[in-house]
């Protein structure tokens, strides 16, 4: 179990709730036939779109208010805007998510769906079928290799999230083939796009690399892509306003001249 003393209070609360929910995990094991995430990224590239995972996120500890729209309608708008894949929050207490919403979204779209939650125990993997599951290196600590293997045994593709080179090394040693670099420091909740730029050069070419957090404009998209991002995961910048238009502005960032969305926010 990971030491939580250096985490921000909001993050410690999220992790504590995740551990409580782990004790309530299902007993029946899921068996997933996933939609291929890497193939979805490749299709986006071939179509002239930036590969983007758009996140259905009703709320979060780092944003104000909540989005009350039908999650399925939001997801369909994101796909219409060119999203290669979707991320759906299933954490209920801090993000307003649920496994029921993920099930509805996955049934309604034909792109891969990532389950965005804070998995700390194998039992949590059986909560719902998704195409991709998230494992956060800092949260799972030494359990990463076993959880990675358990997820793959069920058919999941796995996105392993890291924040620094030490966590990257642990992820690679565990056998991760899809890695996300979170620009948000979980200790201070400060966002710095330079985080991705410092970690990315040390990621092997054969690993699918995703930039996460703080991407709020087409300029940010181009910056992360120039630093080596195969794809991007964007939440708040898409959820704030017209999700289809916001998604399209980011997925077209390399095809269109100029920024179509000027923002100073620091989304997750």
Q: Which residues are catalytic?
A: 55, 57, 116, 161, 182, 212-213
Query: What secondary structure letter does DSSP report for 191?
Result: B
> Could you tell me the two tokens for 15?
């992790």
Which distant-in-sequence residues (6+ apart) come within 8 Å of 132 by Cβ?
A: 34, 37, 85, 112, 113, 114, 115, 156, 157, 158, 159, 178
Judged by DSSP in three states, 136 sits in strand
Tokens 């980011």 found at: 250
Residues 162 and 180 sit within 8 Å (Cβ to Cβ): yes
| Alpha-carbon span 232 to 250, nearest angstrom | 10
Cα dist from 70 to 1, 56, 63, 102, whole Å: 36, 10, 19, 12
Which of left, alpha, beta for 28 (phi over 0: left; psi -120 to 50: alpha)?
beta
Three-state DSSP at 9 gives helix
């Amino acid at each position: 179990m990971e030491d939580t003393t250096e985490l921000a209070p909001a993050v410690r609360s999220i992790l504590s709730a995740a551990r409580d929910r782990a004790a309530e995990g299902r007993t029946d094991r899921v068996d997933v036939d996933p939609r291929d995430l890497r193939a979805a990224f490749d299709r986006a590239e071939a179509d002239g779109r930036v590969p983007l995972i758009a996140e259905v996120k009703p709320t979060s500890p780092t944003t104000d208010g909540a989005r009350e729209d039908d999650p399925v309608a939001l997801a369909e708008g994101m796909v219409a805007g060119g999203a290669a894949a979707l991320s759906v929050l299933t954490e209920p207490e801090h993000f307003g998510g649920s496994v029921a919403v993920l099930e509805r979204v996955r049934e309604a779209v034909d792109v891969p769906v990532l389950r965005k939650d804070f998995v700390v125990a194998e039992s949590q993997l059986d909560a719902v079928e998704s195409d991709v599951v998230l494992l956060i290196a800092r949260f799972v600590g030494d359990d990463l290799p076993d959880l990675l293997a358990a997820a793959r045994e069920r058919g999941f593709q796995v996105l392993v999230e890291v924040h620094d080179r030490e966590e990257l090394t642990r992820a690679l040693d565990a056998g991760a083939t899809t890695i996300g670099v979170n620009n948000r420091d979980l200790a201070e909740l400060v966002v710095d796009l330079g985080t991705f730029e410092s970690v990315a050069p040390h990621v092997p070419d054969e690993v699918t690399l995703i930039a996460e957090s703080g991407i709020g404009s087409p300029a940010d998209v181009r910056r992360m892509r120039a630093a080596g991002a195969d794809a991007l995961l964007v939440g708040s910048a898409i959820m704030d306003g017209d999700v289809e238009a916001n998604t399209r502005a980011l997925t077209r960032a390399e095809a269109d001249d100029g920024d179509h969305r000027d923002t100073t926010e620091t989304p997750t």
